[in-house]
Structure formats: structure tokens, C-alpha cells
Chain A
Amino acid sequence: MDALVAQLQMQFRDYTISLYQQGFLDDQFTELKKLQDDGSPDFVAEVLSLFFEDCVKLIGNMARALDQTGTVDFSQVGASVHQLKGSSSSVGAKRVKGLCVTFKEYCEAKNYEGCVRCLQQVDIEYKALKTKLQDMFNLEKQIIQAGGRVPQVDIN
């Protein structure tokens, strides 16, 4: 059992580190993990699910705004991007946040093609992140089920 736990823990550690290295997550995520304690054991999960719901909603808004025939209301798109940026920086979704920055520039420049492209990328990114985080949580669950403790991963 211990061997399994150890193996799972190592897997988890490697996986987490790889997420950071690949730029999916940044330090804010670490901070987020710190806030999870006995008082709020599912804090991270709650925040993340809220984040992903937000993503869906905002991306929907942006897609609708960009799909409009006639003149596109870039300010509306910009507002949504701003929100998404705020959310992603709060949870530490590094890639998404980076894309949001670029997206925002395109919005300010009123570059339709750029915006559309960014939107597609954001969509892809958040889904990818969602998948990755899902895997990570599964690993955590497995470790807990195996009786082990989820290790603290030191990124540095």
C-alpha cells in the first residue's frame, strides 16, 4: 500500500510540476492551495469550478458580441475580456491570463480577426486547463483513497 501511495504521490508531484513548467499555472495557484485548510477543505475546487463557469459565460458573451452583424461592440468584448483576465489571474491560470492580455489589445485596436482568433485560443486553453486540472484532482483523490496524504509540491 505504501508503495502505491508513494508512487501515486510521485506521479502527482511530477504532474503538478509539469503543469507549472508548461505554463498552465503560476504562483497564484500555489497561494490558492495555501488557503485550503480544515476550515475550507474544498476551497480550491470551489474556486476553480466557479472560474470555469465564468469562462463559459464570458466566452459565450464574447462570441455573441463578435457574431453580431453590423458594427461589433468592442467595448463590450473588452469588458468581458477584462473580467476573464481578472478571474484567470486570481486563480493562477497563466496561459489564459496571457491570452486575455493579447485579446484586450486586439479589442482596443478594434482588430476583428485578432479578436476572433484570440477567442478561439482562449476557448481551447481553458478547456485544456480544465482537463489537466481534472487529472490532477483525480490523482489527489486516488492518493487520499489509498490512504496517503497529498504532498505539498514545492515549485522552486
Chain B
Amino acid sequence: MEVCNCIEPQWPADELLMKYQYISDFFIAIAYFSIPLELIYFVKKSAVFPYRWVLVQFGAFIVLCGATHLINLWTFTTHSRTVALVMTTAKVLTAVVSCATALMLVHIIPDLLSVKTRELFLKNKAAELDREMGLIRTQEETGRHVRMLTHEIRSTLDRHTILKTTLVELGRTLALEECALWMPTRTGLELQLSYTLRQQHPVEYTVPIQLPVINQVFGTSRAVKISPNSPVARLRPVSGKYMLGEVVAVRVPLLHLSNFQINDWPELSTKRYALMVLMLPSDSARQWHVHELELVEVVADQVAVALSHAAILEESMRARDLLMEQNVALDLARREAETAIRARNDFLAVMNHEMRTPMHAIIALSSLLQETELTPEQRLMVETILKSSNLLATLMNDVLDLSRLEDGSLQLELGTFNLHNLFREVLNLIKPIAVVKKLPITLNLAPDLPEFVVGDEKRLMQIILNIVGNAVKFSKQGSISVTALVTKSDTRAPDFFVVPTGSHFYLRVKVKDLGAGINPQDIPKLFTKFAQTQSLATRSSGGSGLGLAISKRFVNLMEGNIWIESDGLGKGCTAIFDVKLGISNESKQSCIPKIPANPRHANFSGLKVLVMDENGVSRMVTKGLLVHLGCEVTTVSSSEECLRVVCHEHKVVFMDVCMPGVENYQTALRIHEKFTKRHQRPLLVALTGNTDKSTKEKCMSFGLDGVLLKPVSLDNMRNVLSDLLEHRVLYEAM
């Protein structure tokens, strides 16, 4: 065998060294081959491994290393060239792969390290979240506890229950050993132990309120940790030497009703507080946590509110009891008053009757006496007797009326009547006196004043008569004006406007006179019974002073108002009153009785009538009409002739008022003057061609009893005459 010079000579190495090398190489090879297998095996098992291709590289590197070492086994002995070639190839490959791997690792290792840091970061974060979760849970727990506690506390309005429940629930929630409530005494100088949790019958135990620890607690709205040895916390006899649990105290504001002003909140300085003391179980080493303290504070506030509610309830119960007592007392008083009134009414009724009978006799006999022959002195005496007894009779009537008015037993007698007529009648009644005193009276009726109204005619007339009568009585000179209109506002509620449509309206009557006037200071007294102004002038006019009082009562019954305005003594005065009247549903036409189906052949025969008309033709036509109806007609063509001819035999006078101006109307006035006695005067009817309301009003104001629209048909005239004679008044629908 030839030895190649390129190869180092093989020395006859130590057999042992050789052997060990051989074996080591063998094992290395095995190890190198098995590592990738293990790697593959474990990687396959694990789910995540991002660097698979690195693994391949690594595996290749290891395999090749193994291969190298394996091939090395053959190089210990002489070997052929093939082996050397294979060895070289293997080594070259190994070199390449290992270099590549080394380069790769430069990139990979930092990545792997960063993974590690991220893992650490996430772990920290998880720990933090865990902690926060814990906190939230505790807060939620606390909230739940508070809600439950509040619910329990507020579910009752009884003071004791509230406080007891608070202590019980707090004790349960916070697992307290003891819980106590100290309430301020009446004097406010001491705190008294009022409620405890565990001790059933707390000893009546007080501490002065000015202790520093108490001031400390009262000074803040938070729960304050206090020493277990402070007087408020030492509730049980200290037995044994165990570690007392931590104690917390909190103030509970007591809100008193008087603390609540309308606009201010209660002043803090005058607040009273109660003290709530909570003790943790001893020997438990438990500490007060923040959330527990918060819970305590919230509960304390809720308790304060609940207590104030309870206080309010107590107050209202007391007030209600008081009211009930008062009610009973009032009821009793009312019944007594009723009995008294009834007794008085009975008395009045009896006395009234008893008094009227002799009164009647006096008046009747005096009147009869007046008719006989008397000497002037005797006549004077009889007249005085008559006047006095009339006065007395009026007084009795007034008193009876008033007493009936006062106790409300008077009721209005409602009926439909003609308002315009009422005024005119009143004026007619007053006119004689006014004429004697030379006081002109004028009547103004508003155009929109309804004609037919529903109300108490008699009493309304009484009111107007009284007022106008007063005006006449107390005026020495001047004039008197009576105005009637529809007022739009209820004087008692000036913002309330009554719309005079529908069924009601307010009638306002103003009576103004320029007479004696009234001192403004006396005005309030006017309507009181029996009060009279002191001046001699008024005294001489007589009267009992009841008139206005009665009028006022009537006006009030009619849901109205009456008052007097005066500018002072000697400046006259105005009396004004409003009353509520109903508007008659009947149309004006129905005031004339319904025209019967077959016209009545009324018996007009011989009825003497007078026709005044300047126009010959229409005079003739009117005469023809009336003659056809059977009347005895006299015709005149002028006012003068009319006044000359008219006599009490004429029952009706038809006068044409077509000519403009008031000449013809004056005739009516003069006829009125001529016939002073109402029943002697003929009825006056105006014939006019005008259809407007002003003509009608003019006629009314001049004292005409009716208005007819020309030309008049036969049927019309017939009906008109019959109505006229029946009712003595006529207003034809226009």
C-alpha cells in the first residue's frame, strides 16, 4: 500500500484515543440525528410556532453536522477517495448551512426576546384589570347595599321603625358588632342613647354634647374614625382584654319643620344632629374600608331625609286632628245658630201678624175718618196719625223683609217681564213728586238693552224705586238722570267679562243726582241697617234707613253689586247697581199673544178712537180701517185740534208721527199731562213709516203706548187693537 504524500501520515495513534474518538463521534452523530427528530416531534405537538422554516434550517444544519461526524468515523482508518469526497461535500454543506443559520439567528433572537417582554407586559395588565374588577365589584356591592338599606328605611314613615331598621340593616350589611344612635335631648345640651342594635333595653345614658370628639364628628359630613375608648363608643361594659374593633361615627342631620323657610334652605348653624356610632367586631382585625365609610355616609343622609318625612307626617296628623275638633265645634255652633234663627223667625211671624192687625185697623179707620167732616185741626191730627201709621206699617214690612233676606229664606220670584216698561213705570210713579220739587228726571235706556228679561220684577222695581226715591228725597235742586245699560264686566271680578249673549246679562243702572251729596266717609255706612247720616236735612225726609240695606240684599240675591259714589257734600251723588238678569228666550213677537188661527171678531163696536194725521189720504184710510172694525172714529188733522178734541171718552189715540221733528211727539206728552190719572188717559199709538229702532225708542220715551208701522193691514189693526186693549201696551215687531 502506497502512502499518499498529501495526506498526513497516520501515526500509529494510541489505540485507546482512537477508540474514544470513534465512540464519541458515533454518539455525537446519533445525538445530532436525534435532535431534529425531537424538534420535529415537539413542534408538531405545539400549536404555534412561527418559525418553521428556521426549524428546517436548523434541522438541516444539525443533520449535516451529524452526517459530518458520522462520515468522520470512516476517516480514522485509511479510506478511499470517495469517502474523502463525501466528507468534503458534507463539510462544505454543513459550513454553508451553519453560516446561514448564524445569520438568521441575528434576526430571530431579538424577535424571540420581544415576545418575552410582551408576555411580561400582558401579565402585568391582566393583574391590573383583576384589581380593578375587584374594586368595581366592591362598589357595586356597596351600591346594592345602600339601595337595599334605603329601601328599607324609606318604606316606613314611622320614626322609630326608620331608626331601628337603619341600625339593623347596617349591622347586617357591614357585619357590625354594635351600632348605636345618640339623639339630642330637648334641651340640646346632651346626647341621649336612643337606639342600639344588640342591647334590647338601652340604659338611659347621656353624654354632654360639647365633647371634642362629638364636635369633630359634627363638624364634617363624612364618617369619622373615632377611638373605641371615647364615651360614645363605650356602650358595653368592657370585659376582658380583647382588642376592640374600630369605631366610626357619623352625624345625622335632624331637620325640623321650622327650619324650612319658604325661600331659604335651613341654616346650618341651627342644625341639630344625631350621632350614629358603628363598631366593627372586636378581635377581627377588620379595618374600615373606604367603600364601607361611603356606605355609612349615604345611609346617614337617607336617614335624615326619612326622619324629616316622618316629622312632617306627624305634623300633618296633628293638624288633621285639630281640624276635626274644630269641625265638630263649628257644627255644634251652626246648629245652635239655626235653632236661634228659627226661634226668631217664629217670633217675627207671630209678632208680625199680631202687629199688622191693629195697624190695619188704625190705617183703615184713619182713612175713613179723613173722608168725614173735620175741623182743620182735627184734619191735621188725622193726617198725622195716618202718616205715622203708614210709616209704621212700612217699617214693619221692611223689618220682616230684611229678616227674611238675612237668613236667606227669601227667594226671588222669577218671571218674564218688560224691562223698558219697568223703568217707565218707576219714573211715572216718581214723576209727581219730582215735578212738585221741580226736579227734572230723565231716563236713558241703552239701545242694546234687552226688552224682555227674566227676573224678579217686583223686587227690581223696589230697588229702582228706592234708589230713585232717595235721589229725589235728598235733592233740593238739580236734575236726576236714570241710565240703564248692559254692562260687560262683573264688577266683582273686573277681569271677567260677561258676554251678554246666551241666557244672562248684567244690567247696570246709574242714578245720578245733583243734590245734597254724601260725605265720602259716610258711604260705607249707607248700606248698614238703621244707620243714617246725621245732617238735619236728611233727618227731615223721614225714612227708616232700611231702604238701602234692603236694596243691597236684593241686589246681592240677584248676584249683583251696588255702590254709591259721591264727590262730597253738596256735590250730588251717583248710585250704581249691577244685577244679573236672564234674557227671555221668547222673541219679541211672542210677547204679543199668539195670533189665533181664526182672527177674533173682537168687539170693538162703539170703541171711541181718535185719529190724528196731517195727510188727508192716510187719515181717510186709517179711519176706514177702524170704521170697518166697528170703532167710532173721530179724525183731526193737527196737534192743536187733537189736544182740543181729545177727552177721556177716547180709548185710543192714533197719531201719525211721520213728519220729521218732535212736534207730534210733544202731543203725546201733552196728552199725558192732560190726563193725570192713568186709567183715564187714552192709549197712545204712533203710526209711522219708519222701521228703525230709534223711532221706537223715541216713541217710548215720549210716553207712547205702542207703535204701528204704516201702512196697516186690516188683520194687523184688528189684532193690534185687541192686544192693546187687553194689555194696555203694544210693541209690534218691526
A residues adjacent to B (C-beta < 8 A): 27-28, 31-32, 34-35, 37, 39-40, 43, 46-47, 50-51, 54, 82-83, 85-87, 89-92
Closest A residue, CB atoms, query B622: A90
Q: B621 within 8 Å of A by Cβ?
A: yes
Q: B659 within 8 Å of A by Cβ?
A: yes
Residues of A within 8 A of B616 (CB): 50, 54, 87
Q: B627 contacts A40, CB within 8 Å?
A: yes
Q: A91 contacts B627, CB within 8 Å?
A: no
Q: B627 contacts A83, CB within 8 Å?
A: no
Q: B18 within 8 Å of A by Cβ?
A: no
Give the contacting residue for B617; candidates A31, A43, A86; CB below 8 A.
Answer: A86
Q: A39 contacts B620, CB within 8 Å?
A: no
Residues of A within 8 A of B714 (CB): 31, 34-35
Q: B624 contacts A89, CB within 8 Å?
A: no
Q: B710 within 8 Å of A by Cβ?
A: yes
Min distance, Cβ B483 to any Cβ of chain A, angstroms: 33
A51 to B711, CA, bound (A): 15
Residues of B within 8 A of A43 (CB): 624
Min distance, Cβ B178 to any Cβ of chain A, angstroms: 113
Min distance, Cβ A112 to any Cβ of chain B, angstroms: 22
Residues of B within 8 A of A27 (CB): 713
Q: A28 contacts B711, CB within 8 Å?
A: yes
Interface positions of B from 660 to 681, Cβ below 8 Å from A: 660
Taking A28-B711, A90-B711 as contacts, is the C-beta distance between A35 and B620 under 8 angstroms?
no
A126 to B627, CA, bound (A): 28
Q: A32 contacts B628, CB within 8 Å?
A: no
Taking A86-B689, A89-B710 as contacts, is the C-beta distance between A37 and B621 under 8 angstroms?
no
A35 to B620, CA, bound (A): 11
Residues of B within 8 A of A87 (CB): 615-618
A43 to B621, CA, bound (A): 9
Residues of A within 8 A of B713 (CB): 27-28, 31
Residues of B within 8 A of A (CB-CB), count: 22
Q: B689 contacts A50, CB within 8 Å?
A: no
A47 to B621, CA, bound (A): 7
A31 to B614, CA, bound (A): 21
Q: A47 contacts B617, CB within 8 Å?
A: yes
4 additional contacts (CB under 8 A) given A86-B656, A87-B616: A47-B624, A50-B616, A86-B615, A89-B689
* Highest count of chain A CB atoms <10 Å: which of B614, B616, B621, B712: B621
Listed A/B pairs (30) with beta-carbon separation below 8 Å: A27-B713, A28-B711, A31-B711, A34-B628, A35-B621, A35-B625, A35-B628, A39-B627, A40-B628, A46-B620, A47-B620, A47-B621, A50-B616, A50-B620, A51-B617, A54-B615, A82-B659, A85-B689, A86-B617, A86-B658, A86-B710, A87-B617, A87-B618, A89-B618, A89-B710, A90-B615, A90-B617, A90-B618, A90-B620, A90-B622
Q: B624 contacts A40, CB within 8 Å?
A: yes
Q: Work out how many contacts link A and B, with CB atoms closer than 8 A.
A: 68
Residues of B within 8 A of A82 (CB): 658-660
Residues of A within 8 A of B614 (CB): 83
A142 to B713, CA, bound (A): 29
Residues of A within 8 A of B618 (CB): 86-87, 89-90
Q: Using an 8 Å CB-CB cutoff, how does the interface string of B710-728 with A read, 1 for contact, 0 for none?
A: 1111100000000000000
Q: What is the predominant secondary structure among interface residues of chain A facing chain B?
A: helix
Min distance, Cβ A96 to any Cβ of chain B, angstroms: 11
Min distance, Cβ A40 to any Cβ of chain B, angstroms: 7
Q: A89 contacts B625, CB within 8 Å?
A: no
A50 to B617, CA, bound (A): 6
A27 to B713, CA, bound (A): 9
A51 to B710, CA, bound (A): 16
Residues of B within 8 A of A40 (CB): 624, 627-628
A46 to B622, CA, bound (A): 13
A35 to B710, CA, bound (A): 16
A54 to B637, CA, bound (A): 15
Q: A83 contacts B615, CB within 8 Å?
A: yes
Q: Using an 8 Å CB-CB cutoff, how does the interface string of B608-633 with A read, 1 for contact, 0 for none?
A: 00000011111011101101100000
Among all A-B residue pairs, the 7 with the closest Cβ atoms? A90-B618, A87-B617, A90-B621, A86-B615, A35-B624, A28-B711, A35-B628
Residues of B within 8 A of A47 (CB): 617, 620-621, 624
Residues of A within 8 A of B712 (CB): 31
Residues of B within 8 A of A32 (CB): 621, 624
Q: Using an 8 Å CB-CB cutoff, how does the interface string of B263-281 with A read, 1 for contact, 0 for none?
A: 0000000000000000000
A40 to B629, CA, bound (A): 12
Residues of B within 8 A of A35 (CB): 621, 624-625, 627-628, 714
Interface positions of B from 361 to 412, Cβ below 8 Å from A: none
A31 to B625, CA, bound (A): 9
Residues of A within 8 A of B627 (CB): 35, 39-40
Min distance, Cβ A150 to any Cβ of chain B, angstroms: 18
Q: Using an 8 Å CB-CB cutoff, how does the interface string of B116-143 with A read, 1 for contact, 0 for none?
A: 0000000000000000000000000000
A27 to B711, CA, bound (A): 10
Closest B residue, CB atoms, query A43: B624
* Highest count of chain A CB atoms <10 Å: which of B618, B622, B658, B659: B618
Closest A residue, CB atoms, query B712: A31
Interface positions of B from 301 to 327, Cβ below 8 Å from A: none
Closest A residue, CB atoms, query B613: A86
A85 to B659, CA, bound (A): 11
A54 to B614, CA, bound (A): 12
Residues of B within 8 A of A34 (CB): 628, 714
* Highest count of chain B CB atoms <10 Å: which of A32, A46, A85: A32
Closest A residue, CB atoms, query B618: A90
A11 to B689, CA, bound (A): 35
Residues of B within 8 A of A50 (CB): 616-617, 620
A150 to B590, CA, bound (A): 38
Closest A residue, CB atoms, query B659: A82
A51 to B618, CA, bound (A): 9
A88 to B123, CA, bound (A): 125
Q: B617 contacts A91, CB within 8 Å?
A: yes
A32 to B618, CA, bound (A): 11
Closest B residue, CB atoms, query A57: B616
Interface positions of B from 616 to 654, Cβ below 8 Å from A: 616-618, 620-622, 624-625, 627-628
Residues of A within 8 A of B622 (CB): 90
A87 to B656, CA, bound (A): 12
Residues of B within 8 A of A86 (CB): 615, 617-618, 656, 658, 689, 710
A136 to B621, CA, bound (A): 20
